[in-house]
Structure 1
Amino acid sequence: MTISEILRRYPETLPVFERHHLDCYDCQLADFEQLEHGATVHKIDVESLLCELNCNIKK
């Protein structure tokens, strides 16, 4: 899923992206960049990020 898709479907995840300094949501690449790629580029553990995003969605 792209970063834009995640934010459109689950806007409550924005604080998670901000906490990890993933400001990709504010750039043009968000429409094309898969979450895994963005996390890898920013040296963020993908599994931890997914877990945090999923927990935030369930709230």
Structure 2
Amino acid sequence: MAVKIEKDTIIGDVLDLAPETAPLFQAIGMHCLGCPASRGESVEEACMVHGVDPDAFLAQVNHFIEAVEANK
């Protein structure tokens, strides 16, 4: 099943569905992925806080997930 991450997807859900994406979140400055506050934010909220274009980040995350799934 293909996973599609959207702007309103909660980061905790992303990490539950695709834990291999954690380094992508860390690369934009989210170093506390285990904190309840960060896990409860949407991808768009996290991008806003960290000064990242959410559309570009989502493209990167979804491309990464597709590549991982293709190699399973």
Larger Rg: 2
Higher helix share: 1
1:24 and 1:36, CA in 2 relative to 1: closer, same or farther beyond 3 A?
farther
TM-score, normalisation: structure 2:
0.72
TM-score, normalisation: structure 1:
0.85
- Between the two proteins, the alignment pairs up a number of residues equal to 59
1:17-56 → structure 2 map (5 Å cutoff): 17-56=25-64
Query: 2: CA distance between counterparts of 1:32 and 1:13?
Result: 16
Question: RMSD across aligned C-alpha pairs, in angstroms?
Answer: 1.3
Unaligned runs of 5+ in 2: 1-8, 68-72
Q: Percent identity?
A: 29
| Structure 1 consecutive aligned stretches of length 4 or more whose deviation exceeds 2 Å | none
Unaligned runs of 5+ in 1: none
